[in-house]
Amino acid sequence: MILTVTLNTALDLTYGVPALVPHTSHRVGDISERPGGKGLNVARVLSALGHETVVTGFAGGATGAVLRDLLAGLPPRDALVAVAGNTRRTIAVVDASTGDTTQLNEPGPLVTAGEWAAFLTTYRKLLGEADAVALCGSLPPGIHVGAYAELVRLARAADVPVLLDTSGEPLRRGIAARPDLIKPNADELAQLTGSREPLRATRDARRRGAHGVIASLGADGMLAATPDGTWRAAPPARVAGNPTGAGDSAVAGLLSGLVEGLSWPDRLRRAVALSTATVLAPAAGEFDRAAYEELLSRVRVEEYAPTTA
């Protein structure tokens, strides 16, 4: 079983408009409503790949009830912990004329000390069943900034490989707890290390505590610095579409490859193919399967340079 943690779950709303024009009214065409937050997106992709997956984190209020109703019809098992506050919403507005997406994210509910303690009890129990765990996304109000560091340490104590996908101070604290993998994008990596040169930044992030660093470079693919070497992976061509959730699909590719014992090049090939195929899908947590299968053989993976373990 693969466990994904989403402390700040969301009800994802995607609106399609012919063209997004500031200061005007818009008539919405396509509308989709999905259970969201990074870890839930990861879990849905993992389930589509055939992996047993469990989702945990927080859900509450009327929005949380809708999220859990939607989740009930999907393969990931729901182990979310109830909170009194209302789960947040995220709104993605997709401009059909350009393919660009504008994202609006609410902050999330206030989580109390008692609710955090209840979550930790659930998390410890689920770790006993897990082959790997992904810690994903932002922290809701009320959760201490070192929360991910605490969860990384618990996973390592349980001998469960852990991937951390967050940003800012939670990433800075979390990386010191020595996660097996982190997956920052270029901006998050630069904020962490102070460097915008990808190879230098990934190596610096490894020195700060991460065993492996997978830097997402957007349309240019990924750079992986690991104890076994450094690789660059890139899609065969740029694609237009909705990039929301592409990074989450990459996490699913990396975690599934880890659990299946794939080589680093094959993990990266899968991650980039899934990420690109997600851009072609209508909503986060989904991917174009035909495109994914076609891309798998066309993603370029090259050894970039030797790295020091």
Known catalytic residues?
A: 248
Nearest Cα to Cα of residue 286 among 14, 1, 2, 4? 14
**Amino acid (1-letter code) at residue 22:** P
Helices (runs of H) and strands (runs of E) counted in the chain: 10, 15
Neighbours of 222 (CB within 10 A): 28
Residues 6+ apart with CB under 8 A from 284: 12, 14, 34, 36, 41, 92, 242, 244, 245, 248, 278
Q: Which residues pair with 3 in a beta bridge?
A: 54, 133
**Which alpha helices (DSSP H) does 92-219 contain, by range?**
113-127, 147-157, 168-175, 186-193, 198-207
User: Residue for token digits 């709303």?
Assistant: 13
Token representation of residue 149: 């560091």
What is the largest distance, in Å, between two alpha-carbon atoms of the chain?
55
- CA atoms of 157 and 137, how far apart (whole Å): 22
- Alpha helices, DSSP H, located in 49-142: 61-71, 113-127
Is residue 56 within 8 A of residue 123, CB to CB? The reply is: yes
Residue reference for tokens 């592409």:
246
Q: Which residue has the tokens 């201490």?
A: 144
Write out the two tokens for 129: 């069943």
The region, left, alpha or beta by phi > 0 then psi within -120 to 50, assigned to residue 10 is beta
